[in-house]
């Protein structure tokens, strides 16, 4: 059978069309003869994810994004082609969109649940999540800072306006005078500081001696304190308190007239009798000195004793008043 030229042209056109379509889809990341398993993930926002983006597990590329299409409800359905069939993906795994590097780009990282042995089959839908990229995180962090900076600038602007309103010509002159006075004060203080340094330098040896004496005094004070501690000062104070208590008791008894001394101090009758007895004893000794024969009479012939005559001073003794 002879093949005509028209048939050859038709076959060539068909082959060319098939090759062109296959090449076009291959360049888009699709493979018409692909027999790998396909998984799906549905997102509210793909956040810059593109077709042919890598699919990874723990950083290992196991596939790529095949297609991204929008569903009628506005959600985005992503088809994942798993090229590494040796990796088993659990049905409880999560397909998370995240940055693929510092230079940009997005990828899908599958957070695999290795403890789950219920593995996915081609056509299953995975759970999803979306991790903010570096720029998104910076934007979220810079947002509050931006608000605070705006408030700070506004407050600073108000402060400057208030300062401009307050610092009129008169206030500025006073401020300049205050600054000049402050400079003069600082200059005087510098001179005083210089003089003090010179005085300290000249009397350095004396200061050293004074400090040494102070250290010795401190050491002696510590020794004295130690000696007082060893002397059992607390026991001595207790004994002194007991002695004072006894003295207070004796004084109280004296004031109440208890005992001989108490009666002597508080009983007027005893005091009067004691005074009278002392006076009579004094008169008796005086009469004995003046008339010894009245009390000592030795007679061989039995001479009669002279009757006792009281001294004149005895008669004049004033009787005590009760």
pLDDT tens readout for residues 156-213: 888 887 777 776 677 777 788 888 888 888 888 888 888 888 887 877 787 788 888 8
Q: Are 286 and 295 in contact (CB under 8 A)?
A: no
- CA 218 to each of CA 53, 126, 184, 194, 291: distance values in angstroms, whole numbers, following the listed order: 83, 83, 43, 32, 79
Establish how many alpha carbons lie within 13 A of residue 110's alpha carbon, considering only the half-sphere containing its beta carbon. Answer: 29
- Out of 30-44, 119-133, 224-238, least confident range: 224-238
Q: Which range among 178-187, 232-241, 303-312 shows the weakest confidence by mean pLDDT? A: 303-312
- Name the pLDDT band for 81 (thresholds 50, 70, 90): very high
Which residues have a Cβ under 8 Å from the Cβ of 81 and sit 6 or more positions away? 34, 36, 37, 38, 55, 63, 64, 65, 66
Distances (CA, A) of 57 to 53, 79, 108, 167, 240: 14, 16, 9, 67, 91
**Does 317 have pLDDT greater than 60?**
no
Region 236-261: what's the mean pLDDT? 76
What residues form DSSP beta bridges with 78?
Answer: 41, 68
**Predicted confidence band at 264 (pLDDT cuts at 50, 70, 90)?**
low
Query: CA angle, 229 as apex, 224 and 230 as ends, to 5°?
Result: 95
Q: Residue range 67-78: average pLDDT?
A: 93
pTM score of the predicted model: 0.38
pLDDT the model gives residue 316: 47
Predicted confidence at residue 157, as pLDDT, reads 82
Q: Confidence class of residue 274 from pLDDT cuts 50, 70 and 90?
A: confident
Domain locations along the chain: 34-130, 132-166, 247-290
pLDDT of the residue at 39: 93
User: What Rg value do the Cα atoms of the chain yield, rounded?
Assistant: 63
Helix axes 268-290, 259-266, angle to 10 degrees: 90
Mean pLDDT of 116-123: 90
* pLDDT of 320 over the 50 cut: no
Residues above pLDDT 70, as percent of the chain: 74
Q: Which residues contact 130 (CB under 8 A, 6 or more apart)?
A: 43, 44, 45, 47, 96, 97
State how far the Cα of 27 lies from the Cα of 16, in Å rounded to an integer: 16
CA distance 189 to 193: 6
């Amino acid at each position: 059978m002879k093949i005509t030229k028209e048939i050859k042209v038709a076959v060539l056109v068909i082959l060319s069309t098939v090759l062109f379509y296959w090449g076009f889809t291959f360049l888009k990341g699709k493979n018409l003869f692909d027999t790998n398993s396909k998984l799906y993930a549905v997102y509210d926002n793909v956040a810059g994810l593109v077709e042919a983006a890598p699919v990874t597990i723990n950083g290992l590329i196991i596939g790529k994004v095949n297609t991204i299409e929008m569903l009628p409800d506005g959600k985005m359905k992503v088809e994942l082609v798993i090229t590494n069939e040796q990796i088993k993906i659990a049905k409880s795994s999560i397909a998370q969109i995240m940055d693929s590097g510092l230079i940009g780009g997005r990828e899908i990282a599958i957070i695999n649940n290795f403890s789950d042995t219920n593995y996915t089959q081609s056509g299953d839908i995975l759970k999803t999540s979306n991790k903010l990229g570096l720029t998104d995180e910076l934007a979220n962090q810079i947002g509050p800072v931006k608000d605070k900076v705006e408030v700070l600038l506004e407050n600073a602007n108000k402060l400057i306006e208030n300062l401009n309103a307050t610092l009129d010509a008169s206030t500025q002159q006073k401020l300049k005078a205050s600054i000049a006075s402050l400079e003069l004060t600082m200059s005087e203080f510098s001179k005083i500081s210089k003089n003090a340094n010179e005085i300290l330098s000249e009397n350095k040896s004396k200061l050293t001696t004074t400090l040494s004496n102070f250290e010795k005094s401190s050491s002696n004070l510590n020794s004295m304190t130690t000696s007082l501690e060893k002397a059992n000062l607390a026991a001595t104070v207790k004994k002194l308190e007991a002695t004072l208590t006894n003295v207070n008791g004796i004084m109280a008894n004296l004031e109440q007239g208890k005992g001989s001394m108490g009666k002597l101090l508080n009983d007027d009758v005893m005091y009067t009798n004691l005074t009278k007895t002392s006076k009579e004893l004094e008169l008796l000794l005086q009469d004995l000195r003046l008339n010894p024969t009245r009390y000592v009479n030795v007679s061989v012939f039995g001479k009669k004793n002279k009757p006792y005559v009281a001294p004149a001073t005895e008669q004049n003794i004033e009787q005590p008043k009760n």
